[in-house]
Amino acid sequence: MIELGLPELTAQQIETLCETAENAARKHVQTIVGSKLIDRLDITVEAHGTKPIDLSVEITLILTTDAKDVDANAIVKEAVAQAHLVSETFLRKLV
């Protein structure tokens, strides 16, 4: 956990933060795998609290049978990390 010294976030800022994290995770998965190999991709980003804010990212990735050599778990971990990185960048701009 990183303490950024943020002010209390507004509802709009929290919504934008969640959307930014979700978009970053989705883009990462689609860049690595390609949409033709994705059977199902569900991304949930939830923010808890306003100060401090706790962000949780959950991703369900099911690939088609054509993607047999692709490690979906590794891609999910990378996408979650990317979502957190983009979220941190977003929050640092608010300071």
Residue 43 neighbours by CB under 8 Å, 6+ apart: 22, 25, 26, 57, 58, 59, 60, 79
Return the structure tokens found at 16. 């934008």
- Per-residue pLDDT band at 5 (split at 50, 70, 90): low
The amino acid occupying position 89 is T
What span, in angstroms and rounded, lies between the C-alpha atoms of 3 and 66? 43
pLDDT at 9 over 50: yes
pLDDT at 30 over 80: yes
Domains along the sequence of the chain with CATH = 11-94 (3.30.300.100)
pTM reported for the whole predicted model: 0.88
Residue 31 neighbours by CB under 8 Å, 6+ apart: none
